[in-house]
């Protein structure tokens, strides 16, 4: 059975008041520049936690060597390390999630259920069938948006007009002769989280991390 690691953490207000620059040394050196490319402190923290979860996951799957190389990006801005495993990171509000698949391709998206900005954005990427289903009120808009974005990340295209060709209403969708399966991940009751994978019934190992500011401070001493 294929295994996927799901690692999650939540940022606290206490953490957000601190500067992430004080704790960059907790990250592998090659991951630090991905944090520093952001100007806003909140964005830096979200990136920091995502990379921290990635580093933790790589240690769990015994791929620490990959921490020694920089994260690369495809022309569509999909991050990757090498072809021995796949990973994907998503965040919404203060919740961050990272998924690692040693043998499969994956994509993940997480969204806060009360995020009404999705309604305006999603209309550019849902096809007519999906929009009609939403109008009836029988489908969850945030869930469908997560499915759409996670699928676009899994296949490596990102969100563009071509994503409308695919229906995300079923349990799976075919893209270039590969069946992509949708899995709901119960990370947090306040969030929708969807994992898309080319694995059939993968084993999910879930890790929840509590980021304690005091522990980080103590480790700095």
Distance CA 42, CA 214 (A): 19
- For residues 184 and 139, the answer to whether their CB atoms sit within 8 Å is no
pLDDT reported for residue 192: 96
The per-residue pLDDT string of the chain (221 residues; one tens digit each, 9 = 90 and over) reads 789 999 999 999 988 999 999 999 989 998 999 999 999 999 999 999 999 999 999 999 999 899 988 899 999 889 999 888 999 999 999 999 999 999 999 999 999 997 667 777 777 787 777 777 777 766 788 898 999 999 999 999 888 767 878 888 889 999 999 999 999 999 999 999 999 999 999 999 999 998 876 666 655 54
Count Cβ atoms below 10 Å from residue 53 Cβ, excluding itself: 25
pLDDT reported for residue 221: 44
Residue range 3-220 forms a domain whose CATH class is alpha beta
**DSSP labels, 110-127:** EEETT-THHHHHHTTT--
Distance CA 200, CA 77 (A): 26
Distance CA 211, CA 51 (A): 13
pLDDT reported for residue 105: 96
Distance CA 44, CA 15 (A): 12
pLDDT reported for residue 219: 55
Distance CA 143, CA 126 (A): 12
């Amino acid at each position: 059975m294929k295994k996927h690691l799901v690692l999650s953490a939540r940022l606290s207000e206490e953490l957000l008041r601190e500067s992430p620059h004080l704790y960059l040394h907790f990250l592998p050196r090659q991951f630090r520049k991905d944090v520093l490319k952001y100007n806003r402190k909140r964005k830096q923290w979200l990136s920091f936690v995502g990379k921290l979860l990635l580093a933790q996951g790589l240690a769990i799957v015994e791929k620490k060597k990959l921490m020694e190389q920089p994260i690369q990006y495809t022309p569509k801005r999909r991050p990757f390390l090498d072809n021995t495993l796949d990973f994907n990171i998503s965040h919404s509000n203060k919740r961050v999630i990272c998924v690692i698949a040693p043998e499969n391709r994956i994509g993940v998206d997480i969204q806060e259920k009360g995020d009404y900005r999705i309604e305006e954005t999603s209309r550019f990427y849902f096809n007519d069938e999906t929009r009609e289903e939403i109008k009836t009120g029988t489908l969850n808009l945030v869930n469908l948006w997560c499915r759409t974005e996670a699928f676009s990340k899994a296949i490596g295209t990102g969100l563009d007009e071509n994503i409308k060709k695919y229906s995300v209403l079923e349990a799976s969708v075919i893209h270039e002769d590969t069946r992509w399966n949708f899995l709901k991940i119960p990370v947090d009751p306040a969030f929708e989280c969807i994992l898309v994978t080319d694995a059939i019934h993968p084993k999910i190992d879930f890790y929840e991390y509590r980021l304690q500011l005091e522990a980080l401070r103590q480790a700095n001493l």
